[in-house]
Amino acid sequence: MKENRETTGRENWSGRLGFILAAAGSAIGLGNIWRFPYITGENGGGAFILVYLLCVAIVGLPIMICEITLGRHTQRNPAGCFAMLTPKSSLLSHFLGAGMVLTGIALLVFQSYGWGIAALVLGALVFRKSWRLVGIMGVLTGFLILSYYSVVGGWAIGYAVKAAANQLSFDSMEPAKETFVNFVSNPLPVIGFHLLFMLLCVLIVYKGIQKGIETACKIMVPLLFIIMLMLILRGLTLPGADAGIRFCFTPDFSKLTAQGVLIALSHAFFTLSLGMGAMITYGSYLGKDENIFGAAVWIVALDTLFAILACLMIFPAVFAMGFEASEGPGLLFQVVPAVFHKIPFGPLWAVLFFLLLLMAALSSGISLLEVVTAYLVDERKWPRHQAVVLSGIVIFQLGALCAVSLGDWEAMRGTEKIITACFGGAKASFFDLIDNLTSNWMLPLGGLFIALFTGWIWGVRKAIEEIRHGSKNFADVHLLTLMAGLKDDPSHNGGTHPLTLATLWGIFIRFVCPVAILITFLHTIGWLNLTP
């Protein structure tokens, strides 16, 4: 670790715990608390949770290891990382670029102009930039996600304030819904809260890796856990809460659709902060002697734990109060205040709940801002402080557009028409467009390319060499030996390594992950229909 700091001048995490908590803080966010419960509610509960766990284990964990390894090896932001490792010419990237250009031409012929032009431009870029594009796309994705993420973070602040002022006492769903719609469509206060959220992010990232991000996460992640436990205990002790528990833990496979499986997979990327290089960036501050595999398992396990806890926090209360589990994206901001109204000391629980949401969003928001900052510092040689403040300002402005696009603001009408005309389908706001573009397209695509790049271009062998520092068991001990508890004992291999964690990981990165992501992706764009 010391050696890193001396040779690259790069600040490192203070140690293993700091890294794990910061990365877990990035992973645990609105995805766990806001999104996971409502998609679970919409997709039938227990069976969906099982499929989600499978996706996390099969695709999430291998790519998490991949990203941290890429970061630690190159000690760079995602764009710098790919620039450093991309070979002079790559047949695979030329092939992909040509495929995209041809697809673009075909789409234009079929008069799908929006997608056609997008495919053409992207194809040309892939051709020119090759794998470097993956890193650049990662930084761009971070920039875009933070713009709308910060708006939702602002909603959490706004709702915490409302709860404290006791303005959230609804006894049925209708006024709760109305309040929410009125709140998000009134641009000025929403932009104010969004500004506050961005300021908090800037303030933390400004202070640097150890003093800023690490310290903030060391406080916020344990606090999150405590608040969550309190809220779970409160929910569980309500009469009728057992229906909620049953809903979460009794798998009913008849309710699970192919669509549900695909939602589970793309959610795995979002919730683990994968596919855009947040973990590459955090990995770049990791010391050489730390155990990458062990840390990745911890991060994934903590994120999963918080997702399950979020369901345990929300569903028992929702069922006990007689609300619908399949309420959709409004589940949190509409059902939760209504639920809290009906229990003793409601406003207090509601304030706690929205503070919890705010902290979860903040610990993820700083990781998004750090990606953009690290890019400007490494590649553009900007001083860190200037990079944080300026990117904060630009992201705030884009976020303000997202916030305004949800309201009924005349000037935004034009963009809605353009978005709808270009991409067809339902009427979409700028906010929805960015959310959809990043979560359903850029993250899975980024994940696919990160796996393909590591598996086939940079090479599993080099990646494993990097992981070996700090984790001997990963590549040198037979899997059975390891499972039997005979750790650190390469002698059981007889000098060869037929089956180790490393070989298993290599197979996943080269074959299993790309195929799984590709299937999801083709389904998302409608070229493969798995729904019976």
Give the interface with ligand PHE as residue ranges (CB under 6 A): 26-27, 29-32, 145, 270-271, 273, 276, 278, 364, 367-368
CB of 16 to ligand PHE, least distance (A): 21
CB of 367 to ligand PHE, least distance (A): 5
First to last CA, the chain: 53
Sign of the four-CA dihedral 64, 214, 163, 306? positive
Nearer to ligand PHE, 451 or 501 (CB): 451
Nearer to ligand PHE, 31 or 44 (CB): 31
CB of 32 to ligand PHE, least distance (A): 5
CB of 370 to ligand PHE, least distance (A): 9
Of 71, 77, 88, the C-alpha closest to 129 is: 88
Nearer to ligand PHE, 80 or 446 (CB): 446
Nearer to ligand PHE, 75 or 271 (CB): 271
CB of 340 to ligand PHE, least distance (A): 22
CB of 404 to ligand PHE, least distance (A): 23
Cβ atoms of residues 333 and 158 within 8 Å: no
Nearer to ligand PHE, 205 or 482 (CB): 205
Q: What is the Cα–Cα distance from 333 to 155, expressed in whole angstroms?
A: 9
Nearer to ligand PHE, 367 or 429 (CB): 367
Q: What is the Cα–Cα distance from 52 to 186, expressed in whole angstroms?
A: 36
The β-bridge partners of 478 are: 500
Residues counted in the chain: 532
Cβ atoms of residues 53 and 257 within 8 Å: no
Helix (H, G, I), strand (E, B) or coil at 486: coil
**The tokens 């700090």 sit on which residue?**
470
Q: What is the Cα–Cα distance from 507 to 455, expressed in whole angstroms?
A: 8
Nearer to ligand PHE, 13 or 269 (CB): 269
User: What secondary structure, in 3-state letters, does 373-418 show?
Assistant: HHHHHHCCCCCHHHHHHHHHHHHHHHHHHHHHHCCCCHHHHHHHHH
Q: Is 414 exposed, middle or buried (0-12, 13-18, 19+ CB in 10 A)?
A: exposed
CB of 44 to ligand PHE, least distance (A): 21
Of 74, 9, 67, the C-alpha closest to 443 is: 67
Nearer to ligand PHE, 64 or 350 (CB): 64
Nearer to ligand PHE, 12 or 32 (CB): 32
CB of 421 to ligand PHE, least distance (A): 29
Cβ atoms of residues 368 and 142 within 8 Å: yes
What does the block give as tokens for 527? Answer: 């070229």
Cα dihedral 353, 354, 360, 366, rounded to 10, equals -160
CB of 33 to ligand PHE, least distance (A): 8
Nearer to ligand PHE, 67 or 466 (CB): 67
Nearer to ligand PHE, 32 or 284 (CB): 32
CB of 85 to ligand PHE, least distance (A): 21
Nearer to ligand PHE, 120 or 156 (CB): 156
What does the block give as tokens for 426? Answer: 């339902």
CB of 29 to ligand PHE, least distance (A): 2
CB of 205 to ligand PHE, least distance (A): 13
SS3 content of the chain, % helix, strand, coil (to 5): 80, 0, 20
Q: What is the Cα–Cα distance from 86 to 96, expressed in whole angstroms?
A: 15
Phi and psi, residue 500, nearest 5°: -125, 175
The CA-atom distances, in angstroms, between 22 and each of 18, 27, 208, 366 are 6, 9, 12, 10
